[in-house]
């Protein structure tokens, strides 16, 4: 065999070996993610269909509604990060996420009715509602349709209607690739991108990669945990598909009577600030908190957000004033092996 032929053969063997190792690593991690997504939740049999949920902790009931790409696990993590302890966290998987199927009517109003039915099933007459991103649509509908069940409403980077500048995502080359991976339901594409070029997924989730790179290690870990929490993508794709084609329209926000707080960031790449400002102008007495930086995941602002949320709940008489400042709690998150 010639020297060139031997070199090519060695290269082929090395590439094949690397591909084999990568495939085994992918299968192992994906299996772990699937296993983690199947644990820690229950399925409620409701008249409108099955709804997956987690019920964790003790204290004041808090309904944590996840955003796009989430599930009950993201709802638990969001509550731990952005609210803190002292609550009974009820975290449903919205329509099309994990073990919650898509009903004939998958509108935000139908999802709101599902939230209300789940609360009734769990004998929870009233709850604080905390939502993130696309979860704001059903949270607002719940507050409007079932006002007796909501004692306070907290909208974090809400993907809601704005008459002037709608929620959107840029169409950079990296985002086009991420859209392709999502639309293909591509577990491997998402996993491989997370390993090779995580900045593509960070931007796709509404945060400037440079902001994450400059953040403390704990914040970098939190963001990457969020990226990994989307896996397995195929178990969340039906819900992502619903969230990606919203029919946003103006709601009678002026009818909301629950104390309301709205949080956004000026550099949110999903452009949620105009919607947050519009909602704050419509909801009577709503408190608006805007950070100059942080992006869609509020990078670097978690401690401030938690403090603001707890101060808001204390001012509404829902937690003692002494509990407004709380030390961080360990968040629920899937861990890589």
What is the rounded distance in angstroms from the CA atom of residue 154 to the CA atom of residue 251? 17
In the chain, the N- to C-terminal Cα span, in Å, equals 42
CATH number of 42-168+251-323: 3.40.50.1820
**Sign of the dihedral through C-alpha 322, 324, 326, 332:** positive
Please tell me whether residue 46 adopts helix, strand or coil conformation.
strand
**Sign of the dihedral through C-alpha 288, 95, 87, 257:** positive
Please tell me whether residue 80 adopts helix, strand or coil conformation.
helix
What is the rounded distance in angstroms from the CA atom of residue 156 to the CA atom of residue 285? 17
Domain residue spans of the chain: 1-37, 42-168+251-323, 173-239
**pLDDT value, residue 16:** 44
Q: What angle do CA 181, 238, 253 make, to 5 degrees?
A: 110
Tokens of 157: 């980077």
**pLDDT value, residue 31:** 82
What's 296's DSSP letter? G
**pLDDT value, residue 322:** 72
Tokens 């993130």 sit on residue? 132
Please tell me whether residue 162 adopts helix, strand or coil conformation.
coil
Report yes or no: 261 and 226 within 8 Å, Cβ to Cβ. Answer: no
Please give the distance of CA 325 from its chain centroid, rounded to a whole number.
24
Environment class of 317 (CB within 10 Å of its CB; exposed 0-12, middle 13-18, buried 19+) = exposed
HEC secondary structure over 165-220: CCCCCCCCHHHHHHHHHHHCCCHHHHHHHHHHCHHHHHHHCCCCHHHHHCCCHHHH
**pLDDT value, residue 247:** 77
pLDDT in tens, the chain (337 residues): 555 555 444 454 545 444 455 657 777 888 888 888 888 899 999 999 999 999 999 999 999 999 999 999 999 999 999 999 999 999 999 999 999 999 999 999 999 999 999 999 999 999 999 999 999 999 999 999 999 999 999 999 999 999 998 887 665 666 666 666 666 658 888 888 889 889 999 999 999 999 999 999 999 999 999 999 999 989 999 999 899 877 788 999 999 999 999 999 999 999 999 999 999 999 999 999 999 999 999 999 999 999 999 999 999 999 888 777 764 444 444 333 2
Alpha-carbon distances, residue 96 vs 70, 80, 110, 111, 244 (angstroms):
10, 23, 13, 11, 12
**pLDDT value, residue 22:** 61
**pLDDT value, residue 274:** 96
Please tell me whether residue 264 adopts helix, strand or coil conformation.
strand
**pLDDT value, residue 185:** 58
Q: What angle do CA 137, 141, 143 make, to 5 degrees?
A: 120
What is the rounded distance in angstroms from the CA atom of residue 95 to the CA atom of residue 108? 9
């Amino acid at each position: 065999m010639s020297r060139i032929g031997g070199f090519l053969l060695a290269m082929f063997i090395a590439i094949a070996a690397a591909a084999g190792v990568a495939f085994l690593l992918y299968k192992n991690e994906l299996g772990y993610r699937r296993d983690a997504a199947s644990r820690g939740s229950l399925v409620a049999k409701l008249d409108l269909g099955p709804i997956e949920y987690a019920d964790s902790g003790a204290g004041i009931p808090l309904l944590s509604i996840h955003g796009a790409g989430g599930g009950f696990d993201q709802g638990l993590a969001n509550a731990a990060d952005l609210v803190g302890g002292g609550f009974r966290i009820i975290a449903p998987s919205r329509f099309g996420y994990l073990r919650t199927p898509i009903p004939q009517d998958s509108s935000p109003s139908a999802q709101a009715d599902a939230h209300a039915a789940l609360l009734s099933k769990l004998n929870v007459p009233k709850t604080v509602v905390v939502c993130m991103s696309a979860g704001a649509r059903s949270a607002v509908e719940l507050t409007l349709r079932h006002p007796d069940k909501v004692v306070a409403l907290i909208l974090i980077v809400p993907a809601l209607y704005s008459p002037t500048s709608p929620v959107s995502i840029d169409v950079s080359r990296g985002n086009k690739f991420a859209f392709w991976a999502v639309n293909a339901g591509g577990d491997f594409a998402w996993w491989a991108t997370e390993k090779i070029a995580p900045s593509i997924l960070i931007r796709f989730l509404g945060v400037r990669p440079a902001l994450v790179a400059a953040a403390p290690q704990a914040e970098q870990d939190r963001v990457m945990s969020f990226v990994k929490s989307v896996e397995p993508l195929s178990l969340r794709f039906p819900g992502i598909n619903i969230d990606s084609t919203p029919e946003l329209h103006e709601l009678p926000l002026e009818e909301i009577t629950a104390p309301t707080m709205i949080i956004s960031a000026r550099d949110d790449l999903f452009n949620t600030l105009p919607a947050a400002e519009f909602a704050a102008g419509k909801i009577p007495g709503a408190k608006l908190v805007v950070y100059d930086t942080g992006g869609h995941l509020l990078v670097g602002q978690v401690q401030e957000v938690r403090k603001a949320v707890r101060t808001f709940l204390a001012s509404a008489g829902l937690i003692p004033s002494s509990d407004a400042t709380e030390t961080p709690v360990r968040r629920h998150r899937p861990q890589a092996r």
